[in-house]
Structure formats: C-alpha cells, structure tokens
Chains A and B, each alone.
Chain A
Amino acid sequence: MRQNLTALIAGAVFGIGLTVSEMINPAKVIGFLDLFGNWDPSLAFTMGGGLIVTAIGYRLVWRRSTPIFSEQYQLPQNTQIDKNLALGAILFGTGWGLAGLCPGPAIAAISIGGIKAMTFVVAMIAGIVIFEFVLGNRRPKTIAA
C-alpha cells in the first residue's frame, strides 16, 4: 500500500519534470534530434541533469541495505550486449525520430496531446503486446540484486 503512494508521487514528479523541461512536446524532442538542422541541445541538458542527480542519489540510497518500503532493490542483472539490445534500440530510435515521442512523454501527454498522443500510445501498447506474444518468454527477467 505504502509503495503505491510513493510510486504515485514518483510518477507525478517525473511528469512535472517532463513538463518543465518541455520534453512532453514532440517538437522540442525533434529539435534535439535535428542535429544537422536547427539544433536545440535542450534535451541533452535534461538527460544530463537527470543523470547527475540519479547517479549521486542512487549511491546515497544504496547505503541502506534495503529499500524503505520493500524487501530488496531490484536491478537488471543482464550484462550481455546482444542482438536484442541492439535491434530493440534501433527500432526504438526510428520510432522516436519519426514521432518525437518516447514512452514517458507519450504517456504523460495523453492528457494534453489530443488524438495524436492517444493514437501513439495505443499503437505503442500494440507494439508491447505484439512483443509479449512473439518473444515474451525469451526475455531475460529482472531478478533481485
């Protein structure tokens, strides 16, 4: 129960971060990906800011042996650089460049982005469902750290 509350807060803070940074707006993201045109480096600052805060914060968090409201930290254990990782990133990057939306901003935008944002999210869910039915059992599972 308590984990649901902290997840709700984390989700809201994430969404406010996307809103403040304007990364919820596909035009802003396309501006970053338009490296050879009218380049807008803002997204690099968003990612850099997120990265620095998280890198420091995680290390402080991990001084505790367990999370505050759960039994263990659950971190990805897979270290293989494999075909799935590469192909997945390539397909994702193509979709990201075509629409200017990745999963976080797309979901956050369904409340403000109208029919296009909703259409994108429905198609994204379809992509997830297709993956689960085609390859779901072969996916390496996250196990406890």
Chain B
Amino acid sequence: MENFTPLAALIGGAMIGLSAIILMAFNGRIAGISGVFSGTLFAKTGDKAWRIYFILGLIAAPLLYRLASGTPLPFEMSANMPITIIAGLLVGFGTRLGSGCTSGHGICGLSRLSVRSLVSVALFMGVGFITVAVAKMIIGV
C-alpha cells in the first residue's frame, strides 16, 4: 500500500461532490460524465450547449492545474493500443447500456440511494477487480 494517498484522494473526491452539487443546484442536472458526454452528440438540440461547456471545463482543468502548479501530471497507462481500443469500446457501449458510470451511478446515484446504482457499482467494481486479476495472470506479473 505504498502508493496510498488518502488525503489527496479525499479532497479530490470532495471536489467531485462539489461539482455534482453545482450542476444540480444551478442546472438541475446529474453530473454523470457518460450521460453528459454522450448527450453532446445525441441530446436534443436545446440540451446540448451546457454539456459542451461542462466537457470543455473538464478538459481544461488538468491543463490549468498543471500551469498553476508547474509540475507535470503523471499519466501511466500500461494497456497496449489494441487493448486500449477494446477497453474504450467496452466503456462507451457499456456505460450507455447500463445508463451510467463511476460518476453517474457511483457518486450521484448512490448519494440518491438508488438501488439501480448500487447494483451497477457492485457489478462494475467487482468485474473491474476480476479483470485486473485475470489480466495479471495472463501477462504473468
């Protein structure tokens, strides 16, 4: 557990919660990224603009943070290109089929005590644990 960073994790999590509160208080919307993002393509015309602004803020944030802090942000991804493409397809299709992801079900849904979200989180997290364990077995780490 030498990589454990509980305080930064907690503060970052609280900021994600703050974001969800802002979007609910002002816009009346759930901050579920898969839903917000897919709506930039498929929502009704008048329902697209705020989504595009949210996504722009999300993309700009790490850059601003990097400029302000002056330190590069670590990004290490061990998946090779074919696995990256398969994973992206699964995440895109799966989050739409299952109506949400880590933020929509995990943060917003669970905080509303949604049973659907609880089932979703238990499944995607359980499957995530299994996937990593199996992947490690296959590549022999």
Please give, as numbers and ranges, the residues of chain B lying within 8 Å of A100 by CB-CB distance: 77-79
Q: List 20 A-B contacts (CB under 8 A).
A: A17-B13, A19-B61, A23-B12, A40-B4, A42-B9, A50-B17, A57-B24, A70-B27, A74-B28, A88-B96, A89-B120, A95-B94, A98-B90, A99-B83, A99-B88, A99-B91, A102-B95, A102-B101, A103-B34, A127-B89
The count of residues in chain A whose C-beta lies closer than 8 Å to any C-beta of chain B is 123
Given known pairs A17-B19, A104-B103, the reply for A11 and B61 (CB within 8 Å) is yes
Q: Which of B76, B112, B127 contacts A97 (CB 8 A)?
A: B127
Residue among B1, B38, B109 with the most chain A CB within 10 A?
B38
Do B9 and A21 touch across chains, with their CB atoms under 8 A apart?
yes
Using C-beta atoms within 8 Å of the partner chain, give the interface range for chain B.
35 or more
Do B56 and A123 touch across chains, with their CB atoms under 8 A apart?
no
Residue among A11, A18, A113 with the most chain B CB within 10 A?
A11
Do A111 and B25 touch across chains, with their CB atoms under 8 A apart?
no
Residues of B88-125 at the interface with A, using a CB-CB cut-off of 8 Å, are 88-99, 101-103, 105-112, 114-116, 119-121, 123-125
Measured in the bound complex, the distance between the Cα atoms of B21 and A55 in whole Å is 9
Do B63 and A112 touch across chains, with their CB atoms under 8 A apart?
yes
Please give, as numbers and ranges, the residues of chain A lying within 8 Å of B41 by CB-CB distance: 125, 128-129, 132
Given known pairs A4-B49, A33-B132, A93-B124, the reply for A17 and B14 (CB within 8 Å) is yes
Do B9 and A46 touch across chains, with their CB atoms under 8 A apart?
yes
Residues of A1-44 at the interface with B, using a CB-CB cut-off of 8 Å, are 2-28, 30-31, 33-44
Do B4 and A41 touch across chains, with their CB atoms under 8 A apart?
yes
Do A135 and B97 touch across chains, with their CB atoms under 8 A apart?
yes
Please give, as numbers and ranges, the residues of chain B lying within 8 Å of A125 by CB-CB distance: 41, 92
Q: Which of B30, B31, B107 contacts A76 (CB 8 A)?
A: B30
Q: Which of A46, A55, A91, A113 contacts B13 (CB 8 A)?
A: A46
At the interface, is chain B mostly helix, strand, loop or mixed? helix
Measured in the bound complex, the distance between the Cα atoms of B53 and A9 in whole Å is 8
Q: Which residues of A contact B (CB under 8 A)?
A: 2-28, 30-31, 33-55, 57-58, 60-61, 64, 66-76, 78-81, 84-104, 106-114, 116-117, 119-132, 135-136, 139-140, 142
Measured in the bound complex, the distance between the Cα atoms of B47 and A71 in whole Å is 13
Given known pairs A5-B53, A80-B116, the reply for A89 and B98 (CB within 8 Å) is yes
Given known pairs A97-B132, A112-B66, the reply for A103 and B12 (CB within 8 Å) is no
Residue among A36, A75, A91 with the most chain B CB within 10 A?
A91
Given known pairs A54-B20, A100-B79, the reply for A14 and B57 (CB within 8 Å) is yes
Given known pairs A51-B111, A104-B101, the reply for A122 and B88 (CB within 8 Å) is yes
Do B16 and A93 touch across chains, with their CB atoms under 8 A apart?
no
